[in-house]
Every structure is written in C-alpha cells, then in structure tokens.
C-alpha cells in the first residue's frame, strides 16, 4: 500500500544520545556484539558509508581483543551501486571487505550483498529477499540516515511496503556521494542502485539507526518528531517494535 498523506502512529522509537560520534559508534557496535554473542546463528544487517566505519573498527577490535566470533553469523548489506563490480574500489562489497569482513572470522559465503552487475536486477533483488528468509530473518539491522531522511537508497516517496528493488539515485544523493569521500566527481557516481526496501528493513527484529553530526539533525528530528510519512523514509520506523536511534549531541541538537 502507499501512504497518500501524513499519517500519525504511536512513536515507539527509543532515543540514545551520546557525547560525541565516537561514543555513538561504540554504542551501536555494542548492540551488534550483544546479538552476535547471544544468538547461535546471528543475522546482522549492515550499512556502508562514513558513519559506520567506527562501528566496524570497534567490531574488529572486539574480535581481536575480546574473542567476539562471527563464524556462525550471516550478514546482509542494504544496497549496492548498479554497474559496479565487486572488485571496484567504490563498490559496497569492497568497502565491507576492507573495513570488516577481511578482519574478522565471518565465513565469506555468509556475507550477502546485492550484485550490482546482475544481468537481471529484478531477479537479483528477489533472490536477496529469499536469502534473508532462508537465514531466518534479520536479527538487527544497522542503518544510517540521509539529509533528506532516506534510509539505504529509499528516497522520499518510497512506499512503506517496498521490497528490494532497483532505484534511480536523486541529484542530492549523487552530490552527497561525490564530495571527495567516495567519488571525486558527480559524473563518476552511478545513476542507479539496488536497495533493500522499506518493508524489508522494517521486518528486522531490531533496528539501530546511527546518526552523527549537525548535518543530520534536521533529518533525525523529522524522523523522530514529524509525521509517519513516505516524505521522510526514516519516519516509517516510528511504529517498529524495537527501533533505537543512536545519536551524538550534534545530531540530536534539534530535540
């Protein structure tokens, strides 16, 4: 179904405000570690980008220094650029391999990312959904948030019941990804991506959204305090049974 106007639901999102971005990342990593330790076959949903880098560094530290094992874990990543092979430096597979997978004991065949070079993207997306179901569903999904409230590549207007699919990237998202951190020129940024849908994310048993920095404050405030609306995709987490926003003080500055 699609939401035609602003809807109001009981807001169940839990809020955690940490002193700074490092503390927020450590909090998020700790929540993932609890799941990995408690579950016999944990299933963790992951995000890419600059925000979760410190989360992954802490998980690597926990693995090396505190024997946190990912050997029985499965992982699923939110999205991938269309047209980028897994060996491309800016592919999300390459990002995850560099920042996490190569430094822990997770088994390669249990790390699931969408294939941006799939000849039939729709079938690739359908297969991704089936792999999640086969794994028993996602125990915890780590999310970031875009300046317009997007989660994964679900831009404003994405239906609440959307599944994994191919999407066109907005000019704002293209610009945000060409600021030198990832791509140095907007022309280098792919124009489409494969992304887990809003419904796919909402089906996770637990969601942790990590946001840091003043640039995310308005989006976080809209998601937390605004209406339940497809105009702000992150607001569609308001009725989730177990969703926590982990923020630093800058990202929480509009509360």
DSSP state of 141: E
**End-to-end CA distance of the chain, in Å?**
31
Dihedral through CA 191, CA 75, CA 198, CA 57, nearest 10? -70
**Tokens, residue 218:** 């308005």
Q: What is the pLDDT along the chain (255 residues), one digit of tens a residue?
A: 445 455 667 799 999 999 999 999 999 999 999 999 999 999 999 999 889 999 999 999 999 999 999 999 999 999 999 999 999 999 999 999 999 999 999 999 999 999 999 999 999 999 999 999 999 999 999 999 999 999 999 999 999 999 999 999 888 778 877 766 677 777 888 889 999 999 999 999 999 999 999 999 999 999 999 999 999 999 999 999 999 999 999 999 998
DSSP strand pairing (140-143 vs 207-211): parallel
Please state whether beta strands 243-248 and 14-18 pair in parallel, antiparallel, or not at all (unpaired). Answer: parallel
Distance between CA atoms of 90 and 101, rounded to whole angstroms?
16
Calpha distance 214→251 (Å, rounded): 5
DSSP per position, 75-97: EEESEEETT--TTSTTSHHHHHH
Burial class of residue 157, CB neighbours in 10 A (0-12, 13-18, 19+): middle
pLDDT, residue 188, reads: 80
CB 92 within 8 A of CB 49: no
User: Which residues are catalytically annotated?
Assistant: 79, 148, 150, 155
Residue 4: its pLDDT value, please?
45
User: Phi and psi (nearest 5°) for 6?
Assistant: -65, 130
Pairing of strands 14-18, 111-112: unpaired
**Per residue in 73-107, pLDDT tens?**
999 999 999 999 999 999 999 999 999 999 999 99
């Amino acid at each position: 179904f699609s939401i035609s106007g602003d809807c109001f639901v009981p807001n169940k999102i839990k809020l955690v405000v940490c002193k700074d971005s490092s503390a927020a990342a450590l909090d998020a990593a700790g929540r993932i570690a609890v799941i990995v330790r408690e579950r016999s076959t944990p299933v963790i949903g992951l995000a890419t980008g600059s925000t979760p880098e410190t989360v992954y560094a802490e998980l690597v530290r926990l693995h090396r220094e505190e024997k946190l094992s990912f050997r029985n874990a499965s992982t699923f990543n939110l999205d991938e650029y269309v047209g980028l092979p897994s060996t491309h430096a800016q592919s999300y597979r390459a990002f995850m391999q560099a920042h996490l997978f190569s430094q822990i004991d997770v088994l390669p065949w249990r790390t699931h990312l969408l294939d941006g070079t799939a000849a039939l993207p729709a079938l690739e997306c359908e297969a991704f959904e089936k792999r999640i179901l086969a794994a028993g569903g996602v125990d915890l999904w780590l999310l970031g948030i875009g300046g317009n409230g997007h989660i994964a590549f679900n831009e404003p207007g994405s239906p609440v019941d959307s599944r994994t699919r191919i999407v066109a990237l907005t000019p704002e998202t293209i610009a945000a990804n060409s600021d030198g951190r990832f791509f140095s020129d907007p022309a280098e940024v792919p124009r489409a991506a494969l992304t887990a849908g809003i419904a796919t994310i909402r089906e996770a048993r637990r969601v942790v959204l990590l946001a840091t920095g003043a640039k995310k404050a308005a989006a976080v405030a809209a998601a937390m305090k605004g209406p339940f609306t497809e105009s702000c995709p992150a607001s569609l987490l308001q009725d989730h049974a177990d969703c926590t926003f982990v923020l630093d003080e800058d990202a929480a500055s509009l509360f």
